[in-house]
C-alpha cells in the first residue's frame, strides 16, 4: 500500500474504535470523518489558491473521506474525489480510480458507442468483504433503467424503445467517492469505520450543492455498487428504523370521521412506506385501525412535520385527489430560513412568487433539480413574517403546485430565495435546526369535505 494515501488522524479527533459502527448513509457523519473532511478541505483550498485555472473555481466537486483501521487497530483515513479533477484521475494524497479507461475514439454509431461502453464497464470491478468480485455490468444487470432528463418527454412520456431495459449502467458509475474509497480499502485489507462525502467549490447549475455540506452516496450510481460491496453487513440499514417506531407514538389525530383522518405528523416519519424498512404514518395507523386501505391523500417529506390528510376508502381518496389536482385545497407552511447575505432574495423582499420548474434527479433520488427545459411547473408564494437577529427569517409558504421538495428547493436555489431551510440535510447545511430537525411545518389546510360538503379548516402552529 502507498503510505502516502493513508493519512494519520490527530489523537484529539480519535474515538474509541470499538464504539464505531460503519454507516455510510449517516448524517451528520461521525466526528472523526468530519475532522478528516476539514483537513482535506483545507488542502483542496490551498490547491485552488495555487491553481487559478482549476475547474473548481467554476464548478465544484464532490470529495470523500473514509476512516479505516489496519490489522494493528491503528486508525487513519483515505481521501477521494469524484471522476477526474482538472483532467486527471491522479492527484497526490487521493486514492486511484477503480479503473482508468484509456482514451477511446468516439464511436461512429450508437451500436459502436454502446460496445465501447460495455467494454469499459466490464473493466470496473468491485470486491466485497467476502472477496467476491463483480463488474459494473453484473452489478447493474437487474437494476431499473435510469433515463436522463432529455429522454423523459419523448414518446409520450414513455422510455424510448432502446432504453426500455437496463442494458448499461449509468454514465459515471464507479467513479464516485464511496465506491473508490471502499474498493481501495478492501484491496489493502483495511476495515472501514466511518465515511463522509462533501462538496468543495461552486454549485452546479441545476443541482443544489453547498460548499462544506455533507451528502450521502447517490442513489442511482453508488447504492447498487455499495449493496454488493457491503452485502451481509448492517452498514446499509437505515439509522432511523428503530427511531421511527418511537416517533409513531407521537402522531396526533386532529380530526377523524368515517371517511377521512387528519393527523399532525412528527418530523422524521415517512408518510407512506419506503424502501428503508422504516415504519410510515400510513402503516402505523392502518395497523392500529385494522383498515388496510388507509392512505395519505398528499405527502409530507420525512423531515417535515405537520398536517397530513388520509382517506379511509378509495372513493374518498379519489375525490380528495381531484381537489388537489384542481388546486381546490389551500395549504400554508411555516419555515425558518438561513439568510445567505446580500445574495439572498429574502433579504429585502417581504413577499413574492417563485416559479422554478423542477425535475427528479435521475441519478440521485429523491433529490430534485431545477430544469427549465424539462422540468414541470412549480409555483410557491412566500410571505416574510419575522426577521430574526440570528440571521434567520420566519416565513409562510403557500405552495400552488405540489412538486416533491418544492418548498425546499425554491427556498435554497440561487434563483429562488437563496436561503435554505434551517436543518435541511439535502439542500442546506444539515441538521442544525431546533432539536436537530428541519424547520419546515405544514401548519394549515383548508378543503371541502368529500361527503358532507362541510368546509374543513385545520391549523396547528409550528412553534418555530
Q: Tell me which residues are annotated as active site.
A: 301
E strands, 297-388, are: 305-311, 330-338, 351-354, 358-360, 368-370, 380-387
Q: What span, in angstroms and rounded, lies between the C-alpha atoms of 40 and 357?
A: 35
Distances, alpha carbon 19 to alpha carbons 29, 30, 161, 340, 355, in Å: 14, 11, 51, 37, 47
Radius of gyration of the chain (CA): 24
Among the listed residues 369, 300, 305, 298, the one whose alpha carbon sits nearest the alpha carbon of residue 336: 305
Torsion, Cα 359 363 364 366, to 10 degrees, reads: 40
d(CA 419, CA 336) in angstroms, rounded, equals: 9
Pick from 318, 296, 317: nearest CA to 307: 296
* C-alpha–C-alpha distance, residues 175 and 261, integer Å: 47
Q: What is the rounded distance in angstroms from the CA atom of residue 97 to the CA atom of residue 117?
A: 17
State the residue for C-alpha cell 470529495: 63
Q: How far apart are CA 428 and CA 377, in angstroms?
A: 22
The grid coordinates of residue 118 equal 460495455
CA 416 to chain centre: 19
Rounded to 5°, the CA angle 338-298-327 comes to 90
Amino acid at each position: 500500500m502507498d503510505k502516502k494515501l493513508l493519512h494519520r488522524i490527530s489523537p484529539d479527533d480519535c474515538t474509541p474504535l470499538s464504539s464505531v459502527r460503519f454507516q455510510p448513509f449517516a448524517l451528520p457523519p461521525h466526528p472523526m470523518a468530519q475532522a478528516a473532511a476539514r483537513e482535506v478541505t483545507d488542502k483542496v483550498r490551498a490547491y485552488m489558491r495555487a491553481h487559478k485555472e482549476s475547474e473548481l473555481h467554476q464548478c465544484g466537486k464532490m470529495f470523500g473521506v473514509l476512516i479505516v483501521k489496519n490489522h494493528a487497530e491503528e486508525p487513519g483515513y483515505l481521501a477521494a474525489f469524484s471522476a477526474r479533477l482538472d483532467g486527471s484521475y491522479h492527484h497526490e494524497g487521493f486514492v486511484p480510480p477503480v479503473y482508468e479507461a484509456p482514451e477511446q475514439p468516439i464511436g461512429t454509431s450508437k451500436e459502436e458507442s454502446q460496445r465501447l461502453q460495455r467494454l469499459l464497464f466490464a473493466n470496473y470491478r468491485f470486491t466485497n468483504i467476502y472477496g467476491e468480485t463483480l463488474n459494473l455490468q453484473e452489478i447493474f444487470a437487474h437494476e431499473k433503467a435510469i433515463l436522463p432528463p432529455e429522454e423523459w418527454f419523448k414518446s409520450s412520456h414513455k422510455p424510448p424503445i432502446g432504453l426500455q431495459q437496463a442494458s448499461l449502467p449509468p454514465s459515471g458509475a464507479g467513479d464516485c467517492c464511496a465506491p473508490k474509497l471502499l474498493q481501495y480499502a478492501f484491496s489493502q485489507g483495511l476495515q472501514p469505520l466511518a465515511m463522509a462525502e462533501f462538496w468543495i467549490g461552486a454549485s452546479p447549475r441545476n443541482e443544489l450543492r453547498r460548499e462544506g455540506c455533507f451528502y450521502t452516496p447517490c442513489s442511482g450510481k453508488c447504492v447498487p455498487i455499495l449493496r454488493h460491496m457491503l452485502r451481509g453487513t448492517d452498514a446499509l440499514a437505515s439509522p432511523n428504523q428503530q427511531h421511527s417506531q418511537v416517533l409513531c407514538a407521537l402522531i396526533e389525530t386532529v380530526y377523524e370521521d368515517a371517511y377521512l383522518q387528519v393527523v399532525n405528523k412528527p418530523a422524521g416519519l415517512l408518510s407512506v412506506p419506503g424502501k428503508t424498512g422504516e415504519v410510515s404514518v400510513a402503516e402505523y395507523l392502518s395497523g392500529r385501525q385494522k383498515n388496510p386501505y388507509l392512505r395519505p391523500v398528499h405527502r409530507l417529506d420525512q423531515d417535515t412535520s405537520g398536517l397530513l390528510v388520509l382517506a379511509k376508502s378509495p372513493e374518498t381518496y379519489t375525490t380528495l385527489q381531484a381537489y388537489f389536482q384542481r388546486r381546490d385545497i389551500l395549504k400554508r407552511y411555516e419555515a425558518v430560513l438561513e439568510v445567505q447575505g446580500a445574495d439572498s432574495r429574502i433579504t429585502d423582499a417581504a413577499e413574492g412568487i417563485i416559479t422554478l420548474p423542477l425535475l427528479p434527479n435521475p441519478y440521485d433520488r429523491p433529490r430534485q433539480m431545477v430544469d427549465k427545459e424539462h422540468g414541470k411547473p412549480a409555483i410557491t408564494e412566500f410571505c416574510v413574517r419575522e426577521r430574526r437577529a440570528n440571521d434567520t427569517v420566519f416565513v409562510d409558504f403557500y405552495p400552488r403546485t405540489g412538486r416533491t421538495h418544492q418548498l425546499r428547493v425554491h427556498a435554497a436555489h440561487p434563483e429562488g430565495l437563496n436561503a435554505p431551510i434551517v436543518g435541511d440535510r439535502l439542500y442546506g447545511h444539515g441538521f442544525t435546526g431546533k432539536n436537530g430537525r428541519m424547520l419546515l411545518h405544514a401548519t394549515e389546510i383548508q378543503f371541502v369535505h368529500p361527503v358532507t360538503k362541510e368546509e374543513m379548516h385545520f391549523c396547528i402552529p409550528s412553534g418555530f
